[in-house]
């Protein structure tokens, strides 16, 4: 038996989006726009910042496992505290779910090129990881339903999906759910929930409080708290009780929990972030389409473009970097022809479009 199991040996460590200072130095640029990691360009929620500052006097004390935030969330969403979990980002909770529910013989089922954080977590558990292809860049829920077998334990669905930005609808989810046995756990990852919630076709999973569905949400995106690591989940109390047995007892940190509570009260910031994002999505989608690029319609805070070949995607990424625009090439997700561009400030969008207009790769796609 080797020291490192083969399923760990074959993983590649997560590569974070390139950082702005590094690119600025490398290419000698005056200004860089980082549109690579679906972060909030407005910075952190001001009320979250105030709440975090108030915790400094008590940082010598251990945190209470997210209990304060769980209570606030339970009240806000009309649930019991027992139905709520808080953790170090939604990925922290995903990691708990995988440790709690997966046995060696179990299988995980999801779409091809799913959110990379989930891919890494599931594969590092060493269980069989099965996927079905996208249909027109959407989850193919009918195909997923057909793939469920006796060993399927977890089905992972991100809605809106990262990296495509697409959603599945209420109607599609209802149809799908009828085919899922009760012994199968569905993870509904709603990291981008706030961006999609006003779309009447979007199935807010609060209406799906079934016994085998766990919803995950985060403060990393719309509330601008990616660096703080705070996320939450809703599920049947038995599911939560078992996750709590596995969770690190002092996760989330005192600072992270306070940030979450502060952010939930920050309606003004939420609205400002939504407005900026809607403007950015529209501007980027229209401008890039006018250049002849294929842009997948998005319900999140990023757009995915599809180039004719992997080589063109790599070249375009290089051209954009040279002009100070950091985007996300999607080879590591499993989509080498695709690039994901997060929304930013109005100025970032303008700079991104100008850089694209100067691109030789884009000029070739247009002709």
Ligand X SMILES: Cc1ncc(COP(=O)(O)O)c(C=O)c1O
Residue 285 interacting with ligand X (CB under 6 A): no
Residue 165 interacting with ligand X (CB under 6 A): no
Helices (H), the chain: 6-9, 20-27, 46-53, 67-76, 89-101, 116-123, 141-147, 170-177, 193-196, 237-246, 254-264, 267-290, 310-322, 346-357, 360-366
Residue 66 interacting with ligand X (CB under 6 A): no
- CB of residue 302 to ligand X, shortest distance in Å: 9
For ligand X, the closer CB: 36 or 362: 36
Residue 277 interacting with ligand X (CB under 6 A): no
List beta partners, residue 64. Answer: none
Among 40, 45, 119, 220, binds ligand X (CB under 6 A): 220
- CB of residue 46 to ligand X, shortest distance in Å: 20
Residue 299 interacting with ligand X (CB under 6 A): no
Q: Is 264 helix (H, G, I), strand (E, B) or coil?
A: helix
For ligand X, the closer CB: 330 or 355: 330
Token couple for 300: 């999140």
For ligand X, the closer CB: 90 or 359: 90
Report angle CA 269, 272, 274 to the nearest 5 degrees. Answer: 105
β-pair type (128-132, 107-111) = parallel
DSSP 108-122: EEEETT--HHHHHHH
- CB of residue 336 to ligand X, shortest distance in Å: 19
For ligand X, the closer CB: 173 or 361: 173
- CB of residue 42 to ligand X, shortest distance in Å: 17
Q: How far apart are CA 338 and CA 266, in angstroms?
A: 35
Binding mask 166-195 for ligand X (x = CB under 6 A): -----------------------x-x----
For ligand X, the closer CB: 63 or 89: 89
Instruction: Name the closest residue to ligand X (Cβ).
Output: 89
Among 44, 66, 117, 165, binds ligand X (CB under 6 A): 117
Residue 231 interacting with ligand X (CB under 6 A): yes
Residue 96 interacting with ligand X (CB under 6 A): no
- CB of residue 196 to ligand X, shortest distance in Å: 12
Q: How far apart are CA 234 and CA 139, in angstroms?
A: 22
**CB proximity list for 323: less than 8 A, separation 6 or greater:** 29, 351, 355, 358
In the sheet that 107-111 helps form, which strands lie side by side, from edge to edge? 84-87, 231-234, 213-218, 185-189, 152-158, 107-111, 128-132
Residue 162 interacting with ligand X (CB under 6 A): yes
Residue 327 interacting with ligand X (CB under 6 A): no
For ligand X, the closer CB: 213 or 287: 213
| 269 CB neighbour count, 10 Å cutoff | 22
Residues that bind ligand X (CB under 6 A): 38, 89-91, 115, 117, 158, 162, 189, 191, 218, 220, 226, 231
């Amino acid at each position: 038996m080797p020291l490192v199991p083969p399923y760990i040996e074959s993983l590649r460590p997560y590569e974070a989006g390139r950082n702005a200072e590094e690119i600025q130095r490398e290419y000698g640029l005056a200004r860089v726009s980082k549109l690579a990691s679906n972060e909030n360009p407005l910075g952190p929620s001001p009320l979250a910042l105030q709440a975090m500052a108030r915790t400094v006097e008590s940082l010598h004390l251990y945190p209470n496992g997210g209990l304060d935030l769980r209570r606030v969330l339970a009240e806000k969403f009309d649930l019991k505290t027992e139905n709520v979990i808080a953790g170090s980002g939604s990925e922290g909770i995903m990691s708990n779910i995988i440790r709690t529910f997966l046995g060696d013989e179990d299988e995980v089922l999801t779409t091809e090129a799913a959110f990379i954080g989930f891919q890494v977590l599931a594969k590092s558990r060493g269980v069989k990881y099965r996927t079905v292809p996208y249909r027109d860049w959407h989850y193919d829920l009918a195909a997923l339903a057909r793939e469920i077998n006796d060993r399927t334990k977890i089905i992972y669905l991100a809605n809106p999906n990262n990296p495509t930005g697409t959603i599945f609808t209420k109607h599609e989810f209802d149809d799908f759910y009828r085919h899922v046995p009760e012994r199968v756990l569905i993870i509904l990852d709603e990291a981008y929930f706030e961006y999609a919630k006003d779309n009447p076709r979007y199935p807010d999973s609060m209406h799906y409080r079934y016994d085998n569905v766990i919803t995950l949400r985060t403060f990393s995106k719309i509330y601008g708290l990616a660096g703080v690591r705070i996320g939450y989940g809703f599920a049947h109390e038995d599911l939560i009780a078992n996750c709590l047995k596995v969770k690190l007892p002092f996760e989330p940190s005192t600072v992270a929990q306070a940030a979450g509570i502060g952010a939930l009260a920050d309606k003004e910031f939420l609205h400002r972030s939504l407005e900026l994002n809607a403007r950015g999505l529209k501007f980027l989608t229209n401008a890039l389409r006018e250049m002849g690029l294929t842009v997948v319609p998005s319900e999140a805070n990023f757009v995915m473009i599809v180039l004719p070949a992997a080589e063109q995607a790599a070249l375009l990424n290089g051209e954009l970097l040279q002009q100070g625009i950091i985007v996300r090439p999607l080879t590591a997700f499993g989509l080498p022809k695709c690039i994901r561009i997060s929304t930013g400030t109005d100025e970032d969008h303008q700079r991104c479009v100008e850089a694209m207009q100067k691109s030789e790769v884009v000029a070739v796609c247009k002709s």
